[in-house]
Structure 1
Amino acid sequence: MADPQNQRSGMNLTYSGRTRQKYLGNKGLIVLISLLSAFVPLSTDLYLPALPGMADYFCVSSDLANLTLTMFFLSFGAGTLLWGPLSDRYGRRPMLLIGLSLYSIASLACAFSTDIHLLIAFRALEGIGGSSGFAVATAMIKDVYDVRSREPILAVVQTMVLISPVSAPVIGAILLKFTTWRGLFEALAFIGLLALAGSIALQETLERRCSGSLLHSLGRLYVVARNPAFASLLLLFSLPSICALAFIASSSYIYIRGFGLSELEYSYFFAFNAIGMISSPTIYLKLSRRMCRRSFVTMCFGVMILSGTLILILGTWSPWIFAVALLPSTIAAGAVRTPGTNLMLEQQREDTGSAAALMSCFGIIAGSIGMTLISMTRENMIPALGMMYMLIGTICAILWHYISKKPYVSHVPDRYATATGS
């Protein structure tokens, strides 16, 4: 936890004595947290260009091939509910070592799968193992950084995390020129081992561990979920994941089968959209010096509605028009993540691992809903995606109008207040 004296002095970065990293250092810790936070996009986007080819290889429908995505996300979300509370009880580092070992082994098993059903099963195990890093990474940020320095750190981490949606499909498409889809899962196993090595060098960031039995630790999820302030924000900021994951699941089919692009051309269009994701945390940090949090988030949800309308009306005309129409909503949905995550973390003084687990789980569940819905549209994926952004943007704007006026939101310091001296 942050030192109170450092909090009062307004330092940008605050550490407690136990959280100093002897081997990783501050920069190494941020890199490790970023890598752990990136396990979702790395584990999905790297092999997205291979999805249509995998369906052909196993002689199955695209819906069945998409289950390798859906099962990964479902198991990933369920896994966070396990690792988060356990990390509050036993520490962040032990959970990382166990989970990342499972992820690496499951990734290798995926590479050697001879049946689509085996591949789906191993993807589920891969999701459970990888979720340890995702849940624990968010908790580690709360362990180490205070409320005022947390948003810039979250923005830095999210920017580094969002580089993976840009690079992963391009790398995946390039690798497919030299290997098959199996080689992509071998690459994921290597990434898992790299994160495991960093976790071995990590010094524990949790200072006070929760007491009680294993069941008591898991029961803290219910306690956190009953916090109305946390629950309302959790629902609100999970909803944009429906749209984001719906696009990820449908992107290869839209560009490759819908617009007739090659796998490499698809990766370029995907990267163009992902650049918007990367820029979103930086856009938030810059605009938050001039706008209050309430106005900024309201603007983002309005942009999602407008962008969804453009996708619905113009998206089918060409791949470039679709990509340009989608870009504003991608930026807006990414930009609300930084203030949203900070607001949710501030609702819990303890049980940070459980809170982070619920945040991860709800985001994954929402994303899985989006992937399921978009897979049901088949020939009308672009109009369906536009409708999703319009509907989710409207619902979020209405919820935020009421939630943002609550004391548990308005009393959390934002960067606008700091910059203006208010």
Structure 2
Amino acid sequence: MEINDLKKQKYLGDKGMIVLIAVLSAFIPLSMDVYLPALPTMTEYFRASQSIINLTLIMFFIFFGFGTLFWGPLSDKHGRKPIVLIGLSIYTVASFLCSLSSSVYLLIAFRALQAFGGGAASSVATALVKDVYSGRKRESVLAVVQSMVVISPAVAPVVGSFLLNVTSWRGVFVAQALIGISALAGSLALQETIVEKSSASVMRTIGRLGVVLKNMRFTSLLLIFSTMSIPALAFITASSYIYQENFHLSSQVYSYYFAFNALGMLFGPLIYIRLSNYYKRTTIINTCFALTIISGLLISLVGSYSPPLFAVTLVLSTVSGSAMRPPSAFLMLEQQQGDTGSVSSLMGSFATVMGSVGMGIVSLSSNNQIAVIGVLNIILGLICGAVWLYLSSRPYLKQATAD
């Protein structure tokens, strides 16, 4: 099924709409990854410990989770366009404030504000996909968007390293502010996609989150696939320290290794779309969980020997994790009729909250981060994979996974 005639975009068109959704979805990985090469420099500049500097990452994800929970339901009431414009404005101002921070604690606070605003972009992006597309077209758009999104983490560290050669870490946040301004300009061309807005009060609108969570078909899938964000974000948090301090590589060389891993994220959704022409969703997701466990074992056994070995053993779980994103997002969206903003909010917030758990775990294990990443992939791959095997055999998922 193609785009609903009532929701066609006069100014953006189909391709422009997909690009805008991808840009909005990319705010979180871009906001985090572009300044990863600067983390060791910031540790020295502020004379702060690694755990304190990592709070700029952890608090970002926590407040991003709060932001998505707040903005998503409001977009059901007030519309997608006004919410995304307000959120992007907050994000842009906060990015400039980050560049002006005089202490690490101010930076942490402004990063939290930046994340809160960015939450609007992320929650609205997923809602737009469900508003405008349906059926196989929706899943295809989810895959294309996911592939475009991960271009940002592939490019961002390289850009961050380049910026560090010509400016300080403050310039990295100025660049983020400029990205926010660009996204604002694109969002102004967006035409509203909601046919019927919620007439409930603000509190009742936000209370719809609880109604959606009572749908155990949705919530069970939400918990499974959100939990798999833990090992992924553990790696992102520790990556600059692993490559620059453990393996003694420069920030530029580190960015290349990180880009290699991000390319795995890029190909994951594309691989899924190709395989989905021949295999059921269930089979592909089962295989992804198995490969994640194998990757964890390899990381634990040989990942600490050299940078190439670590990168190669890790990319297996990276590809598997990103390949699961389109079918898992599709299945979660299919479980709930209506309350699209709330569904999108919960998908975004749970993933980031779980991701912040991974950040916290790896930050507390600074002496053995490679082994921690390997063990997380093994344990969570086994647990989530086993629960998924049980749920995928239930009647309400059999048809969806077979289509």
TM-score, normalised via structure 2 length: 0.99
Q: Aligned residue for 1:351?
A: 339
Q: Aligned residue for 2:280?
A: 292
Q: Deviations over 1:84-126 (max 9, x none)?
A: 0000011000101110000000000000111000000000000
RMSD across aligned positions (CA) = 0.8
Residues in 1 aligned to 2:21 and 2:280: alpha-carbon distance in whole angstroms: 28
SS state of the match for residue 336, structure 1?
helix
| AA at the equivalent of 1:336 | M
Give the 5 Å matches for 1:297-312.
297-312=285-300
Contact 1:100–1:195 (8 Å) recurs in 2:
yes
SS state of the match for residue 150, structure 2?
helix
Contact 1:16–1:144 (8 Å) recurs in 2:
no
1:83 aligns with one of 60, 63, 71:
71
Residues in 2 aligned to 1:29 and 1:182: alpha-carbon distance in whole angstroms: 32
Q: Deviations over 1:357-385 (max 9, x none)?
A: 00001000100000000011111000111
Q: Aligned residue for 2:166?
A: 178
Runs of 4+ in structure 1 over 6 Å off: none
Residues in 2 aligned to 1:122 and 1:222: alpha-carbon distance in whole angstroms: 29
Q: Deviations over 1:56-102 (max 9, x none)?
A: 00000011001001111000011000000000011000101110000
1:278 aligns with one of 257, 263, 266:
266
Q: Aligned residue for 1:5?
A: none
Residues in 2 aligned to 1:269 and 1:105: alpha-carbon distance in whole angstroms: 32
Residues in 2 aligned to 1:103 and 1:260: alpha-carbon distance in whole angstroms: 34
Give the 5 Å matches for 1:303-382.
303-382=291-370
Residues in 2 aligned to 1:16 and 1:350: alpha-carbon distance in whole angstroms: 19
Q: Aligned residue for 1:215?
A: 203
| AA at the equivalent of 1:265 | V
| AA at the equivalent of 1:81 | L
Q: Aligned residue for 2:5?
A: 16
SS state of the match for residue 202, structure 1?
coil
Contact 2:280–2:401 (8 Å) recurs in 1:
no
The answer for unaligned runs of 5 or more in structure 1 is 1-10, 418-422
Q: Deviations over 1:180-231 (max 9, x none)?
A: 1000000000111111111111100111111211111011000000001000
Give 1:147 deviation, angstroms: 2.0
1:233 aligns with one of 221, 224, 247:
221
Q: Does residue 1:398 correspond to 2:386, yes or no?
A: yes
Contact 1:74–1:364 (8 Å) recurs in 2:
yes
Residues in 2 aligned to 1:236 and 1:147: alpha-carbon distance in whole angstroms: 23
| AA at the equivalent of 2:148 | M
Give 1:406 deviation, angstroms: 1.6
Residues in 2 aligned to 1:110 and 1:165: alpha-carbon distance in whole angstroms: 20
Percent identity between the two aligned chains: 52
1:99 aligns with one of 87, 99, 103:
87
SS state of the match for residue 304, structure 2?
coil
Give the 5 Å matches for 1:40-189.
40-189=28-177
Residues in 1 aligned to 2:194 and 2:99: alpha-carbon distance in whole angstroms: 35
Contact 2:67–2:119 (8 Å) recurs in 1:
yes
Q: Does residue 1:35 correspond to 2:26, yes or no?
A: no
Aligned length: 403
Residues in 1 aligned to 2:135 and 2:119: alpha-carbon distance in whole angstroms: 25
Give 1:413 deviation, angstroms: 6.1
Give 1:348 deviation, angstroms: 1.1
SS state of the match for residue 210, structure 1?
coil
Contact 1:307–1:329 (8 Å) recurs in 2:
yes
Residues in 2 aligned to 1:413 and 1:29: alpha-carbon distance in whole angstroms: 27
Residues in 2 aligned to 1:310 and 1:99: alpha-carbon distance in whole angstroms: 41
Contact 2:43–2:50 (8 Å) recurs in 1:
yes
Residues in 2 aligned to 1:187 and 1:295: alpha-carbon distance in whole angstroms: 42
Residues in 1 aligned to 2:4 and 2:401: alpha-carbon distance in whole angstroms: 20
| AA at the equivalent of 1:393 | G
Q: Aligned residue for 1:3?
A: none
| AA at the equivalent of 1:118 | L
Contact 2:281–2:401 (8 Å) recurs in 1:
no
Q: Which moved more, 1:112-121 or 1:284-293?
A: 284-293
SS state of the match for residue 305, structure 2?
coil
Residues in 1 aligned to 2:170 and 2:291: alpha-carbon distance in whole angstroms: 39
1:194 aligns with one of 157, 182, 185:
182
Contact 1:273–1:323 (8 Å) recurs in 2:
yes
SS state of the match for residue 166, structure 2?
coil
Give 1:16 deviation, angstroms: 3.0
Residues in 2 aligned to 1:376 and 1:114: alpha-carbon distance in whole angstroms: 26
The answer for unaligned runs of 5 or more in structure 2 is none
TM-score, normalised via structure 1 length: 0.94
Q: Does residue 1:383 correspond to 2:371, yes or no?
A: yes
Q: Aligned residue for 1:267?
A: 255
| AA at the equivalent of 1:16 | D
| AA at the equivalent of 1:93 | K
